[in-house]
Chains A and B, each alone.
Chain A
Amino acid sequence: MYETTYHKASSVSEAVDLLKKADDGKLLSGGQTLIPTMKQRLAAPSDLIDLRQIDELKGISRQSDGSIRIGAATCHADVAGSADVKEALPGLAALAGKIGDPHVRHMGTIGGSIANNDPAADYPSALLALGASIETNKREFTADDFFTGMFETALDEDEIVTAIVFPATEKSAYAKFPNPASRYAMAGVFVAKGANGTRVAVTGAGQDGVFRVKEMETALNGSWSPDAVASISVSADDLISDIHGSSEYRANLVTVMAKRAVAAA
Chain B
Amino acid sequence: MTSEGIGARVLRKEDKRFITGNGNYTDDVKLPRMGYAAFVRSPHAHAKVRSIKTDAALAMPGVDAVLNGHQLVADGIGNIICGWMIHSKDGSPMNMGQWRALESETVRFVGQAVAVVVADTLQQAMDAAEAVEVDYEELPVIVDSRDALKEGAPQLHPEAPGNLIFDWEIGEEAATNAAFDSAKTIVSMDIDNNRLVPNPMEPRSAVASFDAAEEHYTLYTTSQNPHVARLVLSAFYNVAPEHKLRVIAPDVGGGFGSKIYIYPEEIACLWASKRVGRPVKWTSDRTEAFLTDAHGRDHHSTAEMALDENNRITGLRVNTLANLGAYMSLFSSSVPTYLYATLLSGQYNIPNIYANVKTVYTNTTPVDAYRGAGRPEATYVIERMMETAARQIGMDPADFRRLNFVTEFPHQTPVIMCYDAGDYDASLNAAMKAIDYAGFASRRAQSEANGKLRGIGMSCYIEACGIAPSQAVGSLGAGVGLWESAEVRVNPVGTIEVLTGSHSHGQGHETTFSQLIAERFGLPTDNVAIVHGDTDKVQFGMGTYGSRSGAVGMSAIVKALDKVEDKAKRIAAHLMEASEGDIEIENGELKVAGTDKKLSFTEIALAAYTAHNLPEGMEPGLKESAFYDPTNFTFPAGTHICEVEIDPDTGKVEVVNFVAADDFGTIINPMIVEGQVHGGLVQGIGQALLENAAYDEDGQLLSASYMDYTMPRADDVPSFKLETTVTECPGNPLGMKGCGEAGAIGSPPAVINAITDALGVEDFAMPASPSRVWQALQQKGMKEAAE
Contact = CB atoms under 8 A, between A and B. Distances in A.
A182 interface: yes
A123 to B, nearest CB: 18
Contacts of A249: 651, 770-771, 774-775
A1 B121 CA distance: 12
B702 interface: yes
B710 A177 contact: no
Interface in B673-709: 690, 692, 694, 702-703, 706-709
B703 A41 contact: no
B650 A256 contact: yes
B769 A244 contact: yes
A2 B123 CA distance: 7
B649 interface: yes
Contacts of B703: 181, 243
Contacts of B287: 40
A252 B709 CA distance: 23
A181 B771 contact: no
B128 interface: no
Given A41-B126, A243-B703, A244-B769, A181 B650 contact: no
B127 interface: yes
A246 interface: yes
A81 interface: no
Interface string A234-265: 00000000011110010011001000000000
A65 interface: no
B709 A181 contact: yes
B159 to A, nearest CB: 33
Contacts of B708: 181-182, 243-244
Interface string A175-191: 00100111000000000
Nearest to B703: A243
Contacts of A177: 650, 652, 770
Contact of B127 (A2, A246, A252): A2
Interface in A24-83: 40-41
Nearest to B130: A41
B650 A253 contact: yes
Interface in B110-148: 123, 126-127, 130
Nearest to B771: A245
Nearest to A257: B650
A41 B285 CA distance: 12
Contacts of A2: 123, 127
Nearest to B651: A249
Nearest to B713: A183
A157 interface: no
A3 interface: yes
Contacts of A1: 123
Contact of A256 (B649, B702, B706): B649
A244 B650 contact: no
Interface centre among A40, A180, A244 (most CB of B within 10 A): A180
Contacts of B650: 177, 252-253, 256
A244 B769 CA distance: 8
Contacts of A245: 769-771, 774
A245 B651 CA distance: 11
A181 B707 contact: yes
Contacts of A252: 649-650, 774
Nearest to A260: B649
Contacts of A182: 706-708
Given A243-B703, A243-B708, A244-B708, A180 B774 contact: no
Interface centre among B651, B690, B702, B771 (most CB of A within 10 A): B771
B706 A181 contact: yes
A104 to B, nearest CB: 13
A246 B126 contact: no
Given A245-B771, A249-B774, A180 B710 contact: yes
A225 B194 CA distance: 42
B119 to A, nearest CB: 14
B733 to A, nearest CB: 46
Nearest to A255: B649
A182 B651 CA distance: 18
Interface string A4-42: 000000000000000000000000000000000000110
Given A3-B123, A243-B694, A256-B650, A180 B770 contact: yes
Interface string B610-654: 000000000000000000000000000000000000000111100
A252 B649 CA distance: 8
Nearest to A39: B285
A1 to B, nearest CB: 8
Contact of B771 (A3, A40, A244): A244
A177 B650 CA distance: 8
Interface centre among A40, A177, A243, A245 (most CB of B within 10 A): A243
Contacts of A3: 123
A181 B702 CA distance: 12
Contacts of B694: 243
B123 A246 contact: no
Nearest to A184: B707
Contacts of B130: 41
Contacts of B709: 181
A143 B702 CA distance: 33
Contacts of B649: 252, 256
Contacts of B769: 180, 244-245
Contacts of B651: 249
A256 B708 CA distance: 23
B690 to A, nearest CB: 6
A182 B771 CA distance: 15
Nearest to B769: A180
Contacts of A253: 650
A253 to B, nearest CB: 6
Contact of A181 (B123, B127, B710, B774): B710
A190 B707 CA distance: 23
A180 B707 CA distance: 9
Nearest to B708: A181
A164 to B, nearest CB: 26
B644 to A, nearest CB: 15
Contacts of B711: 181
Contacts of B775: 246, 249
A2 B122 CA distance: 11
Interface centre among A177, A181, A252, A256 (most CB of B within 10 A): A181
B104 to A, nearest CB: 24
B298 to A, nearest CB: 16
Interface string B747-775: 00000000000000000000001110011
A85 B770 CA distance: 32
B289 to A, nearest CB: 14
A87 to B, nearest CB: 28
Nearest to B696: A243
Nearest to A244: B771
A11 to B, nearest CB: 32
B457 to A, nearest CB: 21
Contact of A246 (B692, B706, B771): B771
Interface string B362-406: 000000000000000000000000000000000000000000000
A87 B710 CA distance: 35
Contacts of B707: 181-182
Contacts of A40: 287
A182 B705 CA distance: 9
Given A180-B770, A244-B708, A253-B650, 16 more contacts: A1-B123, A2-B123, A180-B690, A181-B690, A181-B706, A182-B708, A243-B694, A243-B702, A243-B703, A243-B708, A246-B771, A249-B775, A252-B649, A252-B650, A256-B649, A256-B650
13 contacts: A177-B652, A180-B710, A180-B769, A181-B690, A181-B706, A182-B707, A244-B708, A244-B769, A245-B774, A249-B774, A249-B775, A252-B649, A256-B649
Top-9 shortest CB links A-B: A245-B771, A181-B710, A249-B771, A182-B707, A256-B649, A180-B710, A243-B694, A181-B708, A243-B702
Interface of A: 1-3, 40-41, 177, 180-182, 243-246, 249, 252-253, 256
